Amino acid sequence: MSVPDALSPALRAEALEQLLVERGLVDPAGLDQLITTYESDIGPLNGAKVVARAWTDPDYKRRLLANGTAAIAEMGFAGPQSEHIVVVENTASVHNVVVCTLCSCYPWPVLGLPPTWYKDPAYRARVVKEPRTVLAEMGLCLDDNVRIIVRDSSSEVRWLVLPERPAGTEHLSEAELTGLVTRDAMVGVAKVSAVTAPR
Amino acid sequence: MDSIADMGGTDGWGPVPVPRKDEPVFAERWHARVYVLTRFIRGEISGRNLDAFRHSLERLDRDTYLNNGYYGRWLAGSELMLTDSAILAPGAVDARARNLRGDDVAEPPVPEPNKPDYPETDSSWRRELDRPPAFSVGQRVRAKDLSPEGHTRLPRYARGHTGVVELIQPASVFPDTNAHFLGENPQHVYTVLFESRELWGTDAEPFSVTIEMYEPYLEAAA
């Protein structure tokens, strides 16, 4: 691909779109609308609301762990890449972390589109072989007695991590808790901190 | 098929990028255009077949797969799906891109599409099966040592290894046939838990990995 006059992907994308639009196969307005949806409406805030509710409503948490898809749909979140979501709980002794080694499968309706690190070959290749090392590189050092379970999303099943509720947050409301929950914690490469962080 | 896309356990990639809290959804505008174009191409224009799209990704050569990142491979995979189904002629995107940058090249004529006539029985991948699952929760199973020529979702790092069924998932369209428009061929799906030392040897970090396995990938183990 390093030929001197290689065409940039941006140019190739423009060419592809033009070819499909002029044959009436796609509608540019439909494309714009879908971009706006993923830039504005679908993102990790959805998953954060699910987590905060599970932390404050024990009955909801039970439903979420028993049938993630249905409990998430209760909150109004459904769509492609989430027809069957399994929610697993991280605790002081068990730590789940999610990957897709074969592509980059990810639960879009609750987390939005995957971040760069999730799609990177280094993460996809290494987290199934040396997760403790990878998590430490990413800033999460787990005690030796914590059991790590890596969830490789090789089918259409999607995994969502219910992070551990941090100590010192007992007085916070569901809305305040929502503000603490990060995307990285819901994939399992971070813990939730009691201090507000940008999502 | 064995391919660059099957990355689990491969070496030489260096450190994982540090997560950025303020990462935009789309770092460049062409990423956004490719994301939505691909959704339409794989979902409507070239048959409703996500498995066929994944198969187009696994047929990319190493440089095409890696050089322009996630959306670069989506773009190349989309082009491949469209030329496979003769919605675009080979070289059509190339020629148009050259003309867009000011060259003056002839564009190939629009071909006769051979888009597979493949009615889906349901818009979801989930299917009801009359037959019961062959394996049960808690049972020891071995991932077969298969290396099929076509599409598969059986990662190389699991092949030949033994694990335990943790969960039985909803039955699903079978990617290995569906990707080739050869039938939905629905199968039971299992979450199988493997111990790290079974996969990577005695020096491995202690941990477990679960992988979703379609029933034809598995056999009973002692």
Tell me: the pLDDT tens digits for A59-106?
999 999 999 999 999 999 988 878 899 999 999 999 999 999 999 999
Selecting among A8, A100, A141, A193, the annotated active-site residue is: A100
Q: How much is the pLDDT for A2?
A: 47
A100 is catalytic: yes
Average pLDDT over residues A125-130: 98
Nearest to A152 among B205, B206, B210 (CB): B210
Q: What is the pLDDT of residue A97?
A: 98
Q: Is B91 on the interface with A (CB under 8 A)?
A: no
Is B11 within 8 Å of A124 (Cβ atoms)? no
Q: Is A104 a catalytic residue?
A: yes
Instruction: Give me the percent of chain B exceeding a pLDDT of 70.
Output: 98
Active-site residue A153, yes or no?
A: no
pLDDT tens for residues A142-180? 999 999 999 999 999 999 999 999 999 999 999 999 999
B132 has pLDDT over 50: yes
CB A149 within 8 A of CB A51: no
Q: What was the pLDDT predicted at A80?
A: 81
Q: Which of A2-11, A189-198, B36-45, B199-208 has the highest mean pLDDT?
A: B199-208
pLDDT at B115: 73
DSSP string, A22-47: HTTSS-HHHHHHHHHIIIIISSHHHH
Q: Give residue B43's pLDDT.
A: 85
A43 touches chain B (CB under 8 A): yes
Average pLDDT over residues B149-178: 97
Contacts of B10 (CB under 8 A, 6+ apart): A121, A125
Distance CA B166, CA A115 (A): 28
**In chain B, whose CA is at the least distance from the CA of A69?**
B170
From residue A169, how far is each of A165, A174, A191 by CA, in Å?
Answer: 8, 10, 14
pLDDT of res. A1: 46
Contacts of A105 in chain B (CB under 8 A): none
Residues of A in contact with B57 (CB under 8 A): 103
Using the structure block, give the residue that is written with the tokens 């069957």: A84
Residue A179: count other Cβ atoms within 10 Å of its Cβ. Answer: 16
What pLDDT was estimated at residue A4? 55
How confident is the model over A25-60, as pLDDT tens digits?
Answer: 999 999 999 999 999 999 999 999 999 999 999 999
A44 touches chain B (CB under 8 A): no
A134 vs B16, B68, B212: nearest CB: B16
CB within 8 Å of chain A, chain B residues 127-146? none
**For a pLDDT cut of 90, what percent of chain A falls above it?**
91
Tens digit of pLDDT for each residue in B191-218? 999 999 999 999 999 999 999 999 999 9
Nearest CA to CA, how far is A57 from chain B (Å)? 26
Kindly report the nearest CA distance between residue B218 and chain A, in angstroms: 14
Q: How far is A39 from chain B (nearest CA, A)?
A: 6
Confidence of residue A24 (pLDDT cuts 50, 70, 90): very high
Contacts of B200 in chain A (CB under 8 A): 129
For chain B, give the percent of residues with pLDDT over 90: 88
pLDDT value at A6 more than 90: no
Residues 6+ apart with CB under 8 A from B51: B151, B173, B175, B178, B179
pLDDT in tens, B35-91: 999 999 988 888 888 999 999 999 999 999 999 999 999 999 999 999 999 999 999
- By the CB < 8 Å criterion, does B87 face chain A? yes
Choose among A188, A197, A190, A199: nearest CA to A107: A188
pLDDT tens digits for B104-117? 999 999 999 887 76
Asked if B1 is an interface residue toward chain A (Cβ–Cβ < 8 A), one would say: no
Q: Please, what is the average pLDDT of chain B?
A: 94
